[in-house]
Structure 1
């Protein structure tokens, strides 16, 4: 629905758009008319006219954005003030063309924002993206940066294992089935090496792909997954994760062995181990988890790879926190993508806590104008052929270059 926004003696037509990650927007239908107000308390609505209530209470800061003399207003909620969103469109509503605004038009306006007031970025070309990455690096000089790109900004940062109950319920069986199928190749491999191989062949694992190369992440945010069905305003995202260097682990570290060995435990043991560790922390009594059957099963698996494992130095917290892991360059894809992983540990499978697993602090870069960005990346020789150096992907990349 088209509303009228009225400030002083000026009234302009437009639509309200709301998204929790981006904020509240009013996009005008008419050109060359700008409203002058920098802050407000709330909205008052009468019929189809909406009035900003401007007084000493500042709940919203107001930013005016000019794109070819069409103005967009971004209302930044200062205090998480709850509003009646009945008169807002969602991003998904923009799948259907409004009278004067479509996906392309709104993306052009959105890209002109560049830096959202909440600290996240919106970019529409490679140059702005590199500038954003450089700025974030300057702010986190002491940390190591890892990047994750995905096609939709609504993607949740959890591994494939936790996306379906039938997967996490059967993790140990999938692990052993895969190992048996390729026993000659994998029988002498470590837990993390087998998980990495499973990840390479698109098996559900407790690993989440990341990269140390920000341009690789940008390509992933622009690369439409096979079979993906567009719904609403599809905006890509690169998540920048900064981790203290001392917390980054290598594939042959003890912490990685402890975490990756969880893959061979049956789910009932993982759940029991999680519950006993949490109870031990609450009661400050390590004997609670140490006397459990689940812990004894866990230790037995760890001894397979760490025969010198000293339980006196074991801190159960290591099993609760996801870790950034640098892995060996064991296949062409990891080499091409400067690949690394986040290795996830225990969670509460009964309550569904796996759906809310989180990693280190992160910054978000939203990606629009993806077709143009892909053209720019191709000039830098970043395409399907170089990111996925197998015959199937190389052939697709060659065909696309001649379309």
Structure 2
């Protein structure tokens, strides 16, 4: 078959190096000529953020960071930015912190420097998300893409292993969704495969030794690759499910992605054999699902949605919300029936292999 595809590469400056966040940030602020800086970090990350920003002048510190970015929080933060005539946003933290900076930029068009402390990957995407009335809305706009990302693995050393595992598997979900996203192509599939390999190397290393700097660096590297691949490929079935679970039922972001991942892989992989084989190879396994499950067992990964507040009574509503958002390009057609089966399995931690597509199954419709 002829090789034919389109691919868009986003313009972003990436600075990677352990122990260099403060000096790199000062250099970037000077390069951008910013004078009035808003530093965004949760209360728990305030001390870390102040160390990172030690060499620059900050006009206003903002710490009202809330998971899934409620619209009320975004509106307040935008008002603070305007009141203080801010000309640059700096966010230090995980996906919720980066998400808040994006929400401000979406309306104000202010540039962002992102300094991640987790492996969410949000800093490398042009995707924004806001939650209003228990519904999470996401969109794409280049104005929310951080101008610069500063990766410093030393800033992730205090991230607990349990949360590091969930966050790293969230990154792996970006990679796997990118394999069959609406705009999947050989470039983002190659990036996703390298991301899976890096994450599969870094996660066991930090489980064995939480202070393994090389392992933390592999996780940050993998998180960046996962985000770039996902941004290019677009949001697939996995993310459509998790956005609803997070926005509607307030489930924790990383843990939800880490839990749902194996179920979507099992659901889709036999309908996408090329992607399945790439995933298996990246995991160093003969079988993609077995490889992922072996890794998850090694890591003690999250395994059921009941642990995070999702209930069987929520499934019917969740299916109704998710189904219209499922990409028509998903490798295996999705119905209310098989989506219900997927959520029921993820709810209680059933073996994901129950979702493997039967060769004898008939056609489905979205």
One fold, TM greater than 0.5?
no
| Greater per-residue helix proportion | 2
Q: TM-score, normalised by structure 2?
A: 0.26
| Greater per-residue strand proportion | 1
Larger CA Rg, structure 1 vs 2:
1
Identify which of structures 1 and 2 has the higher relative contact order when contacts are C-alpha pairs closer than 8 Å and 6+ apart: 1
Q: TM-score, normalised by structure 1?
A: 0.24
